[in-house]
């Protein structure tokens, strides 16, 4: 029998329908959510939010390490840092170094070809002999290419690789028209109770004098090292070190061999207040960006300017310049860049980094979205923007002779500081492609690095692209080995035990990348462990020291901290535990 549906059945069916609709709605909502989640940034944010911040292994903190002599009697370290007599002696030594004017120009001929241009270094050597007699009595002194200085303090254990401490004797020129702007004359070495003023006071006669003072002090305390200590000072760092450090590097490689050095400490960053955390962070540069000057020359037929072509060579070159500037290099941020580890060190060790930022940083090495977020933040600040991208600066343009003659020859020089992930070849190729783009519009030929890469019409003219100077980015020094551990542990000891005795947090020691190059470019063969590191504290190094500028100066407290660091470091690494 077929039963007709009654009221109950109808109600039941209706209920079922409502339930089904509800279910469908829920499924629909979930689906929509899923679509939104996976096609928008939600999933990316979710990944960041759920990232663990408990990753101490990414950047271990090494406990402060004090040498035996300090544990027996800590007075020498505190004398260096706090004793008025020691301070004034130190000031004298540095002031006298500043008084010897060792300015050098760009591209000076070699010493033998133009001795008169380098004569000031004789005076500087005389100053060193007069000021550091103990050094000259106890260390072997070698002269490399006449003015390069290599001091060797022989250690008793030849199984230990020598430590190499470096700085440069030369200073950048003082521009004549700025002389009136200096508060104290640039070669007086004036001391106002806090600062020493003068060219070279912070770049970097302070490092040179500090190295010698610390060794002299160790000798006077009767210290005899197991590990050989070498101090080497070039004399044209401000002009790429071709005469000084280049020859010193060759000399040391010949004398000691490839990979023969324990570590190199050269001028570089030190301790600063980190703007994000407000905490004191020690930063040692473990890498340097690359460098290339690209020169492009355009030659076109000349003629009278009463019957000009639509575009003169200057006009065409301007078009190229416009294209270059319209197309800056994009940021690139990978784990090849020491800056990533710097941020990781802060993220895992500082409680002052906001949690979400921490999480994004910890994913930035492998998660494209998180990487983009971090890149955004780094790119916002002018000081950090170029740590993660190649810079290009059109620095020289030359062309044109006369108002009524067409310019036949125009030359443009573009300086690049190359990101650590990029090679100079890539920069040259990219540059050439821009030149070809312009050449095509004007029927011009292009010769790039000796190769004809675009033919042109054979009559309009030709671009020639070349480079005067190129340097690949430096091999990145380890920041996870024993050598690094001793560097970090000594830093913490000096600055936590003696300089800032009431810090409420550990000093994080982290690697960074330098956008500029030092003499160490010539020392790559000597060791992988190259640190551009001048551990002294300044709230803001550039603002505090006016490097390369008017009123260059150095806080004397900072100078004393550097001496204290070298004094403890040389002792701390004087064992085989600190690695051979
Ligand atoms: C330095 O040594 C003195 C004497 O042994 C001691 O009283 C003082 O606490 C030490 N200072 C530090 C910072 O360890
Ligand atoms: C240090 O890091 C490098 C590069 O990531 C790695 O190859 C090496 O094994 C690490 N060394 C130590 C001692 O952890
Ligand atoms: C250490 O304590 C003194 C006195 O409380 C304070 O003035 C100073 O700023 C502190 N130094 C640091 C580095 O925190
Ligand atoms: C480093 O060693 C390589 C290979 O032996 C050599 O070609 C190069 O000239 C050396 N670099 C320096 C700066 O001496
Ligand atoms: Zn320098």
- Residue 480 Cβ inside 6 Å of ligand 2? The answer reads yes
Which residues make beta-bridge pairs with 413? 295, 396
Q: So where are the chain's domains?
A: 74-271+524-578, 287-471
Query: Which numbered atom of ligand 1 lies nearest the CA of 501?
Result: 13
* Catalytic site includes residue 237: yes
User: How far is it, in rounded angstroms, from Cα 532 to Cα 520?
Assistant: 8
Marked catalytic residue, from 170, 238, 266, 267: 170
Alpha helices in 83-184 (DSSP H): 84-99, 120-131, 133-138
Q: Closest Cα to residue 209, out of 119, 95, 285, 82?
A: 95
> Which residue's structure tokens are 């003219």?
461
CA of 76, nearest ligand number: 1
CA of 66, nearest ligand number: 1
Rounded to 5 degrees, φ, ψ at 134 are: -65, -35
Contacts within 8 Å (CB) and 24+ apart, 301-305: 301/406, 301/408, 301/459, 301/460, 301/461, 302/405, 302/406, 302/407, 302/408, 303/405, 303/406, 304/404, 304/405, 304/406, 305/403, 305/404, 305/405, 305/406
Determine whether 105 is exposed, middle or buried from the number of CB atoms within 10 Å of its CB (0-12, 13-18, 19+): exposed
Residue pair 337/513 in contact (Cβ under 8 Å)? The answer is yes
> Which residue's structure tokens are 């950090």?
384
* Catalytic site includes residue 325: no
Task: Say how many Å lie between the CA of residue 519 and the centre of ligand 5.
Answer: 8
User: How far is it, in rounded angstroms, from Cα 486 to Cα 535?
Assistant: 14
Residue 495 DSSP symbol: I
pLDDT per residue, tens digit, the chain (580 aa), is 445 556 676 677 677 767 777 777 777 777 776 666 666 777 888 788 888 888 889 999 999 999 999 999 999 999 999 999 999 999 999 999 999 999 998 888 999 999 999 999 999 999 999 999 999 999 999 999 999 999 999 999 999 999 999 999 999 999 888 999 999 999 999 999 999 999 999 999 999 999 999 999 999 999 999 999 999 999 999 999 999 999 999 999 999 999 999 999 999 999 999 888 899 999 999 999 999 999 999 999 988 888 899 999 999 999 999 999 999 999 999 999 999 999 999 999 999 999 999 999 999 999 999 999 999 999 998 889 999 999 999 999 999 999 999 999 999 999 999 999 999 999 999 999 999 999 999 999 999 999 999 999 999 999 999 998 899 999 999 999 999 999 999 999 999 999 999 999 999 999 999 999 999 999 999 999 999 999 999 987 777 888 888 899 999 999 999 999 999 999 999 999 998 7
- Residue 525 Cβ inside 6 Å of ligand 4? The answer reads yes
Give how far Cα 466 sits from Cα of 239, 292, 364, Å. 20, 10, 36
User: How far is it, in rounded angstroms, from Cα 151 to Cα 136?
Assistant: 9
Residue 537 DSSP symbol: B
CA of 539, nearest ligand number: 3
Interacting residues of 381 by C-beta distance below 8 A, sequence separation 6+: none
Query: Which tokens in the block code for residue 530?
Result: 């190259």
Residue pair 218/567 in contact (Cβ under 8 Å)? The answer is yes
Residue pair 547/282 in contact (Cβ under 8 Å)? The answer is no
Query: Which tokens in the block code for residue 474?
Result: 């430096």
Which residues make beta-bridge pairs with 20? none
Tell the CATH topology of 287-471.
Alpha-Beta Plaits (3.30.70)
Task: Say how many Å lie between the CA of residue 169 and the centre of ligand 5.
Answer: 9
Task: Say how many Å lie between the CA of residue 250 and the centre of ligand 4.
Answer: 8
Count CB-CB contacts under 10 A for residue 398.
Answer: 12
The pLDDT value recorded for residue 4 is 55
Report which protein residue has its CA nearest ligand 1's atom 2: 74
- Residue 481 Cβ inside 6 Å of ligand 2? The answer reads yes
Task: Say how many Å lie between the CA of residue 493 and the centre of ligand 5.
Answer: 26
Query: Which numbered atom of ligand 1 lies nearest the CA of 497?
Result: 13
The pLDDT value recorded for residue 452 is 97
User: How far is it, in rounded angstroms, from Cα 218 to Cα 208?
Assistant: 16
Residue 242 DSSP symbol: T
Rounded to 5 degrees, φ, ψ at 59 are: -160, 80
Secondary structure (3-state) at 58: helix
> Cα 572 from chain centroid?
26
- Residue 500 Cβ inside 6 Å of ligand 3? The answer reads yes
- From 65, 68, 74, the mutation candidate for ligand 1 (largest count of ligand atoms within 8 A of CB) is 74
Alpha helices in 257-399 (DSSP H): 313-326, 338-349, 355-363, 368-380, 382-385
CA of 477, nearest ligand number: 2
Query: Which tokens in the block code for residue 370?
Result: 């998180």
The pLDDT value recorded for residue 370 is 94
Q: Closest Cα to residue 53, out of 296, 298, 344?
A: 344
Residue pair 456/443 in contact (Cβ under 8 Å)? The answer is yes
- Residue 502 Cβ inside 6 Å of ligand 3? The answer reads yes
> Cα 157 from chain centroid?
33
- From 502, 503, 507, 557, the mutation candidate for ligand 3 (largest count of ligand atoms within 8 A of CB) is 502
- From 62, 344, 478, 528, the mutation candidate for ligand 2 (largest count of ligand atoms within 8 A of CB) is 478
Query: Which tokens in the block code for residue 518?
Result: 């030092």
Secondary structure (3-state) at 166: strand
Report which protein residue has its CA nearest ligand 4's atom 10: 525
Name residues contacting ligand 1 (CB within 6 A).
Answer: 74, 497
Task: Say how many Å lie between the CA of residue 485 and the centre of ligand 3.
Answer: 27
- From 240, 246, 525, the mutation candidate for ligand 4 (largest count of ligand atoms within 8 A of CB) is 525
Query: Please, which residues have CB less than 5 A from ligand 5, an ion?
Result: 203-204, 267
Report which protein residue has its CA nearest ligand 3's atom 7: 502
User: How far is it, in rounded angstroms, from Cα 548 to Cα 204?
Assistant: 10
First CA to last CA distance, the chain = 100
Report which protein residue has its CA nearest ligand 1's atom 9: 74
Task: Say how many Å lie between the CA of residue 525 and the centre of ligand 4.
Answer: 6
Q: What is the largest CA-CA distance in the chain?
A: 126
Rounded to 5 degrees, φ, ψ at 239 are: -130, 40
Task: Say how many Å lie between the CA of residue 382 and the centre of ligand 4.
Answer: 35
User: How far is it, in rounded angstroms, from Cα 447 to Cα 439?
Assistant: 11
The pLDDT value recorded for residue 543 is 78
The pLDDT value recorded for residue 1 is 43
Give how far Cα 178 sits from Cα of 171, 183, 248, 567, 578, Å. 16, 11, 34, 37, 48
Residue pair 407/401 in contact (Cβ under 8 Å)? The answer is yes
Question: Residue-wise over 275-285: b if at least 16 C-beta within 10 A, else e?
Answer: eebebbbbbbb
Judge whether 74-271+524-578 and 287-471 match in fold: no
User: How far is it, in rounded angstroms, from Cα 132 to Cα 135?
Assistant: 5
The pLDDT value recorded for residue 339 is 96
CATH superfamily of 74-271+524-578: Zn peptidases (3.40.630.10)
Question: Residue-wise over 518-545: b if at least 16 C-beta within 10 A, else e?
Answer: bbbbbbbebbbbbbbbbbbbbeebeebb
Query: Which numbered atom of ligand 2 lies nearest the CA of 335?
Result: 5
Task: Say how many Å lie between the CA of residue 58 and the centre of ligand 2.
Answer: 11
Marked catalytic residue, from 237, 267, 472, 519: 237
- Residue 250 Cβ inside 6 Å of ligand 4? The answer reads yes
- Residue 92 Cβ inside 6 Å of ligand 2? The answer reads no
In DSSP notation, 19-41 reads HHHHHHHHHHHHHHHHHHHHHST
CA of 81, nearest ligand number: 1
């Amino acid at each position: 029998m077929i039963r007709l549906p009654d009221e109950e059945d109808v109600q039941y069916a209706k209920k079922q329908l409502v339930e089904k609709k509800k279910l469908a709605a829920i499924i629909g909502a979930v689906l929509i959510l899923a679509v939104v989640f996976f096609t928008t940034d939600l999933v990316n944010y979710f990944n960041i939010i759920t990232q663990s911040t408990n990753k101490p292994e990414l950047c271990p903190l090494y406990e402060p390490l004090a040498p035996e002599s300090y544990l027996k009697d800590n007075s020498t370290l505190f004398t260096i840092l706090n004793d008025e007599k020691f301070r004034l002696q130190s000031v004298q030594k540095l002031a006298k170094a500043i008084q010897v004017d060792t300015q050098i120009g760009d591209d000076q001929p070699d010493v033998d070809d133009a001795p008169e241009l380098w004569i000031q270094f004789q005076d500087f050597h005389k100053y060193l002999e007069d000021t550091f007699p103990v050094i000259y009595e106890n260390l072997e002194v070698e002269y490399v290419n006449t003015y390069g200085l290599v001091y060797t303090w022989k250690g008793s254990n030849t199984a230990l690789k020598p430590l190499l401490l470096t700085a440069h004797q030369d200073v950048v020129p003082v521009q004549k028209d700025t002389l009136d702007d200096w508060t104290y004359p640039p070669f007086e070495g004036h001391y106002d109770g806090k600062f020493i003023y003068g060219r070279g006071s912070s770049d970097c006669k302070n490092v040179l004098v500090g190295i010698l003072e610390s060794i002299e002090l160790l000798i006077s305390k009767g210290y005899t090292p197991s590990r050989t200590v070498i101090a080497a000072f070039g004399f044209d760092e401000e002009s790429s070190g071709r005469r000084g450090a280049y020859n010193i590097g060759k000399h040391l490689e010949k004398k000691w061999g490839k990979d023969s050095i324990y570590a190199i400490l050269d001028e570089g960053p030190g301790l600063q207040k980190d703007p994000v955390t407000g905490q004191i962070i020690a930063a040692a540069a473990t890498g340097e960006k690359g460098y290339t000057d690209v020169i492009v020359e355009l030659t076109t037929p000349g003629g009278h300017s009463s019957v000009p072509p639509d575009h003169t060579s200057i006009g065409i070159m301007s078009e190229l310049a416009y294209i270059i500037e319209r197309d800056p290099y994009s940021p690139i941020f990978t784990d090849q860049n020491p800056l990533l580890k710097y941020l990781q060190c802060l993220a895992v060790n500082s409680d002052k980094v906001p949690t979400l930022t921490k999480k994004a940083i910890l994913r930035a090495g492998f998660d494209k979205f998180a990487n983009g977020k971090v890149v955004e933040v780094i790119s916002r600040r002018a000081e950090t923007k170029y740590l993660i991208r190649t810079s290009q600066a059109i620095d020289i343009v030359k062309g044109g002779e006369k108002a009524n003659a067409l310019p036949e020859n125009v030359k443009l020089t573009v300086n690049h500081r190359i990101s650590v992930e990029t090679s100079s070849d890539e920069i040259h190729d990219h540059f050439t492609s821009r030149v070809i783009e312009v050449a095509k519009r004007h029927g011009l030929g292009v010769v790039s690095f000796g190769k004809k890469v675009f033919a042109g019409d054979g009559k309009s003219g030709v671009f020639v692209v070349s480079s005067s100077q190129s340097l690949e980015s430096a091999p990145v020094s380890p920041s996870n080995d024993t050598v690094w551990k001793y560097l970090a542990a000594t830093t913490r000891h000096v600055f936590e035990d003696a300089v800032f005795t009431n810090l409420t947090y550990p000093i994080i020691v982290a690697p960074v990348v330098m956008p500029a190059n030092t003499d160490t470019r010539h020392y790559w063969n000597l060791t992988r462990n190259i640190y551009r590191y001048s551990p002294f504290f300044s709230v803001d190094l550039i603002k505090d020291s006016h490097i390369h500028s008017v009123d260059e100066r150095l806080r004397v407290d900072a100078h004393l901290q550097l001496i204290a660091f070298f004094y403890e470091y040389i002792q701390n690494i004087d064992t085989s535990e600190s690695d051979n």
